Amino acid sequence: MVETSLAVLAQEIERRAHTLGGALLGGGRTELDELRDEAARLQAAIARATRLRRLELGEAGPGAAMLTPVVIESGGFSGFGLVRNLTGHGASAKVFALLPEGRSVRVRFSTDDCVDGTIVASRRERIEIAFDKPVAVAALLAGPARDGWSKRPARLGVRGEIELVAHARPVSADVLDVSQHGLKVACAPLRAAQRVEVDVGGFDLRPAVVRWSRSGATGLKFVRPLSLDELRLWSP
């Protein structure tokens, strides 16, 4: 599984590097934002390959910092967290809530992958989790999604009002869910591939691209993923 995933990532890196190089050296007109977006996607693919390579070489054993954003669900709590250490039998995570020892917990690594376990230690905003069943770490972090495409980050269902800026005009929107890489909102119809800015509150306006818009809902992808501090804003 690791070898297959690395091969796929290597092909993606080669393809994105070729696309970026062609855009830079070609004679056509290319928007600066498009170059930045492609460079960001190339960097993300390299980061995923580096992390998976560390797993293959055995460098990501117990105590290795993975720094993987996840959604943590326990009792009535559901919010973002950060997995700092991950093994086949458990994880250490930072979570923006006080969760007691002995409570069942579910960790969502992506829209496809979730792992159930029990909180065996809790101190301030850090918890230690023992998984109910062993997991394949490499497949969990970097394996393909069920449909064969890249995995989508775990999404947190939330409700709140935000403001978008489209063509210099404000657009009111209701948030339906959020991930580190994007938002689903209910708002007036927007055009696919349209660029907007999102006011996430307390931070600068964040550029995003409309991926789809239908049935009163719109999917937005951030040009630059949310930071951990920004993710914390969406936790209860």
Instruction: Tell me the residue type at 234.
Output: W
CB 13 within 8 A of CB 45: yes
How many beta carbons lie within 10 A of that of residue 59, not counting itself? 10
pLDDT band at 233 (very low <50, low <70, confident <90, very high): confident
Of residues 41 and 146, more confidently modeled: 41
pLDDT by residue (tens digit) across 146-175?
A: 555 567 888 998 888 888 998 888 999 999
Triad 203, 209, 215: Cα angle to 5° = 110
E strand segments, 59-200: 68-74, 77-86, 90-95, 104-108, 114-123, 126-131, 156-166, 169-179, 182-186, 195-199
Q: Residue written as tokens 């995923």? A: 48
Report the percent of the chain where pLDDT is more than 90. 29
How many beta carbons lie within 10 A of that of residue 212, not counting itself? 13
Taking the domains of the chain in order of start, what are their residue ranges?
2-56, 68-142, 156-232
* pLDDT confidence of residue 173: 92
Hey, is 64 helix, strand or coil? coil
Sign of CA dihedral 31, 50, 206, 111: positive
Q: How far apart are CA 111 and CA 70, in angstroms?
A: 10
2-25 vs 32-56: helix axis angle to the nearest 10? Answer: 160
Could you say which of 3.30.70.2190, 2.30.30.100, 2.40.10.220, 1.10.357.10 is the CATH number of the domain covering 68-142? 2.40.10.220
Q: Which CATH architecture has domain 156-232?
A: Beta Barrel (2.40)
CB 68 within 8 A of CB 91: no
pLDDT band at 143 (very low <50, low <70, confident <90, very high): low
Domains 68-142 and 156-232 fall in the same CATH topology: yes
